[in-house]
Amino acid sequence: MACSMLRSSVTPRLGARSGSLPARPVARPASRRPVSAKASSSDDVGAAGLAAIGLGLPANAIVLWSEYTLQTTGAGLPPGPGGALGAAEGVSYLVVLGLVGWSVATKVSTGSGLPPGPSGLLGAAEGVSYLSLLAGIVVFALKYLS
């Protein structure tokens, strides 16, 4: 019994302050925004990034289809009903070149390419655009330089 009384008088209770040490204030940031597990700075790509994702991925598919058709048949895609397929092909080439140009400009100004975007889709559109450009150069070289 005497031992437990001695221990309780020497050992400070949990949560009790010692008289010799002043309480330290807890530093808190000025504004506390809740941090979402999903949202990060790479997910916020703005309207241009979302447009690049929405237009870039389908445009790359059309460009690669056009390049394959050009390599195998010697001609691009047929015009389609009302010229819609031919128009989509032309716009798709412009979108792919726009993505590559945006990526190069970002690389020159910041030292890194485009941000990955939500679920990495902007980074995927960027990478596939470079592959589409490379495939176009190879098809051009095979068709017109040989």
Give pTM, 2 decimals: 0.69
Q: What is the mean pLDDT of residues 101-119?
A: 93
- pLDDT tens digit string along 37-81? 444 555 688 999 999 999 999 999 999 999 999 999 988 899 999
pLDDT tens digits, one per residue of 7-40: 555 555 555 555 565 566 666 655 555 544 444 5
What's the pLDDT score for residue 86? 94
> What are the tens digits of pLDDT across the range 111-145?
998 999 999 999 999 999 999 999 999 999 998 88
* Rg for the chain, CA atoms, rounded: 30
Biggest CA-to-CA distance, the chain: 102
Residue 110: band (very low, low, confident or very high) from pLDDT cuts 50, 70, 90? very high
Helix segments in 74-120, DSSP class H? 84-110
Phi-psi sector, 23: left (phi>0), alpha (psi -120 to 50), beta: beta
14-51 per-residue burial string, b: 16 or more CB within 10 A, e: under 16: eeeeeeeeeeeeeeeeeeeeeeeeeeeeebebeeebee
pLDDT, one tens digit per residue, over 89-99 is 999 999 999 99
Helices 46-73, 121-144: axis angle to 10 degrees equals 30
Cα–Cα–Cα angle for 93, 94, 97, nearest 5°? 85
d(CA 43, CA 89): 29
